[in-house]
Amino acid sequence: MLDNNPLQTALKSSRTKLDESCADRITTAPAEGDIDTYGAPFKSRVIKRSIVIGGHRTSVSLEDAFWLGLKEIAQSQTVHLSDIVRNIDSERQHCNLSSAIRLYVFDHFRK
C-alpha cells in the first residue's frame, strides 16, 4: 500500500536522482581546466615524487601547490629542499611524511 503513496513515490524518485548525481561526481575525475563546485579551477593533482633524505631515497605524494610552496620556502631560506624535508621528517609525530610536509607548508604561509 505504501507504493501508492505519492509522498513515498516522490522520495524514492528523489533518492534515485541524488544517487545518480553523486555517482557522477565520485567516479568522474576532474579534467584540467575544470572548476569545482565553488567555482575555483582544479589546479593540481597528487603526484608521487622521489626525494633523498639522509642518503636514502623515499617518495612523497604531494599536490603541485604544496611542492611549489616547499620549493619557494627553500629558495627564500637559501637552503636545499632536501634539508627542509629532512628537518620535517625528524620532527614529525604520528603522521606520514607527505602529511607532515603539507602541514609545514600550510603553517609557513599561514603566518
Mean pLDDT of the chain: 75
pLDDT in tens, 50-91: 988 888 899 999 999 999 999 999 999 999 999 999 999 999
Count Cβ atoms within 10 A of the Cβ of residue 66 and give its class: 0-12 exposed, 13-18 middle, 19 or more buried. Answer: buried
pLDDT of residue 100: 95
Residues with Cβ within 8 Å of residue 90, at least 6 apart in sequence: none
By DSSP bridging, strand 56-63 and strand 46-53 are: antiparallel
Residues with Cβ within 8 Å of residue 69, at least 6 apart in sequence: 105, 108, 109
Q: How far are the Cα atoms of 76, 110, 111 from residue 46, in angstroms, in the given order?
A: 24, 21, 25
Answer whether 0.85 is exceeded by the pTM.
Answer: no
pLDDT in tens, 32-51: 555 555 555 555 678 899 98
What residue segments make up the domains of the chain, in order of their start?
1-43, 46-110
Ranked by mean pLDDT, the top range of 7-11, 25-29, 63-67 is 63-67
